[in-house]
């Protein structure tokens, strides 16, 4: 996967969080495969607790998340980032 998909940063905060996490995971060797859904990717990363549906509500449903949903999504990605930092590919 080319890094070109990481060049145009989104403006929406939840999309930005996901964008930053996806770039981080790619650099660590845990990038999402082109045909992989977010849910499948989180499962492969052994993080079924991370709720990809929250991102998809914003990305595809054009919805706004509650403050609690944003906090949950941010915490999930933070936990996953820590787990990947401690894992070797």
Would the pLDDT of 47 be above 90?
no
pLDDT band at 36 (very low <50, low <70, confident <90, very high): very high
| The pLDDT of residue 63 | 82
Tell me whether residue 80 is exposed, middle or buried, using C-beta atoms within 10 angstroms of its C-beta: 0 to 12, 13 to 18, 19 or more.
Answer: buried
Element (H, E) at 22: helix 13-27
pLDDT band at 1 (very low <50, low <70, confident <90, very high): very low
pTM score, whole prediction: 0.80
């Amino acid at each position: 996967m080319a890094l070109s998909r990481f060049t145009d940063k989104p403006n929406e905060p939840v999309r930005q969080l996901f964008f930053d996490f996806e770039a981080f995971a790619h650099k660590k060797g845990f990038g999402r495969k082109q045909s992989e859904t977010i849910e499948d990717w989180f499962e492969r990363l052994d993080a079924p607790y991370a709720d990809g549906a929250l991102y998809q509500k914003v990305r595809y449903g054009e919805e706004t998340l509650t403050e609690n949903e944003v906090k949950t999504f941010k915490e999930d990605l933070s936990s996953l980032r820590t787990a990947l930092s401690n894992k070797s590919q």
